[in-house]
Amino acid sequence: MKKILLTGALGQIGSELTMKLREVYGTDNVIATDIRESDSEVVKGGPFEILDVTDAQKMHDLTKKHDADTIIHLAALLSATAEKKPLLAWNINMGGLVNALETARELGCQFFTPSSIGAFGPSTPKDATPQDTIQRPTTMYGVNKVSGELLSDYYYSRFGVDTRGLRFPGLISYVTQPGGGTTDYAVEIYYEAVKKAAYTSYIGEGTYMDMMYMPDALNAVIDLMEADPAKLKHRNSFNVTAMSIAPETITEEIRKHIPEFELSYDVDPVRQGIAESWPNAIDASAASEEWGFKAEYDLAKMTKDMLDKVK
């Protein structure tokens, strides 16, 4: 049975992935860690440790103490925050990743860390973005994600660490709101629709980005980590997506449930610039072919579920 140590357990992905993994593998087999405590189910409902991922020794010691055979490394600063504090983002995103990879190498753990559509840049083909293509991101977050992909592939080819990763699109969820991302607008819009039947978007009209509902993201992590390694032609990291949407397309869908919903724009040049440097719609056929990736939620199904849950 897998014994998993997860970093960033109180974040947008971590707070749901921890609960899902505990359901699948057993509560005591999933050790959640984060830089601070909270009164959430993640902390109260199973093994929890305080861990600053820039502390290499503690990362090693906790993994050894719990005899973990799998590391899921999520702790990171997201794109918009990383543009405000690029050096801090480098230190946390790359320092934390190296510590996690080194621990996985030393203790023989399987390894997962997310990449992102942020690993692509303005010179990447914007539509049907291929699995293998040019990656010259112009954000610190993107530099971190491309470096992370290359480093994770290196640990696989040089040291035999079973590293695997997903290039996540924007993730939409209702349990823990994201912090410091560029795609956060696609989460905020649902909360504001329920609260005020109105939302002012910091991302401009016609700005398409890949998105996915959190349940599909959680299943993708588990399916990838359970996949037969012999079938994997790629490892770090697979394109995955469920839909390509813009503020006005989400609005159209929300209006089917809240007809009076009003959308306005107050574009944030920094996050708009980041969004425009990313693809409009990526191609996820490698993930489908190599380990059976399939998203269950489209925009209509996600919108119905989000509005029900946020209410």
- In the complex, which residues of this chain contact ligand VAH (CB under 6 A)? 78-79, 116-118, 141, 168-170, 178, 181-183
Query: How far apart, in whole angstroms, are the C-alpha atoms of residue 192 and residue 261?
Result: 9
Query: How far apart, in whole angstroms, are the C-alpha atoms of residue 217 and residue 272?
Result: 24
Residue 63 or 139 with smaller CB distance to ligand VAH = 139
Query: What is the amino acid identity at position 282?
Result: I
Q: To the nearest whole angstrom, how small is the minimum distance from the Cβ of residue 235 to ligand VAH?
A: 19
Q: Is 40 helix (H, G, I), strand (E, B) or coil?
A: coil
Residue 53 or 109 with smaller CB distance to ligand VAH = 53
Catalytic-residue membership of 141: yes
* DSSP β-bridge partners for residue 170: 211
Q: To the nearest whole angstrom, how small is the minimum distance from the Cβ of residue 307 to ligand VAH?
A: 21
DSSP letters, 124-188, are: S-SEEE-SS------SHHHHHHHHHHHHHHHHHHHH---EE-EEE-EEE-SSS---S-STTHHHH
Residues 141, 155, 156, 199: which is the catalytic one? Answer: 141
Contacts of 224 (CB under 8 A, 6+ apart): 112, 164, 166, 238, 287, 291, 293
Contacts of 270 (CB under 8 A, 6+ apart): 80, 83
Query: How far apart, in whole angstroms, are the C-alpha atoms of residue 204 and residue 264?
Result: 9
* DSSP β-bridge partners for residue 30: 4
Query: How far apart, in whole angstroms, are the C-alpha atoms of residue 137 and residue 116?
Result: 11
Residue 110 or 183 with smaller CB distance to ligand VAH = 183
Q: To the nearest whole angstrom, how small is the minimum distance from the Cβ of residue 6 to ligand VAH?
A: 18
Q: To the nearest whole angstrom, how small is the minimum distance from the Cβ of residue 234 to ligand VAH?
A: 19
Q: To the nearest whole angstrom, how small is the minimum distance from the Cβ of residue 297 to ligand VAH?
A: 17
Residue 76 or 307 with smaller CB distance to ligand VAH = 76
Residue 190 or 261 with smaller CB distance to ligand VAH = 190
CB closest to ligand VAH, residue no: 181
Positions marked catalytic: 141
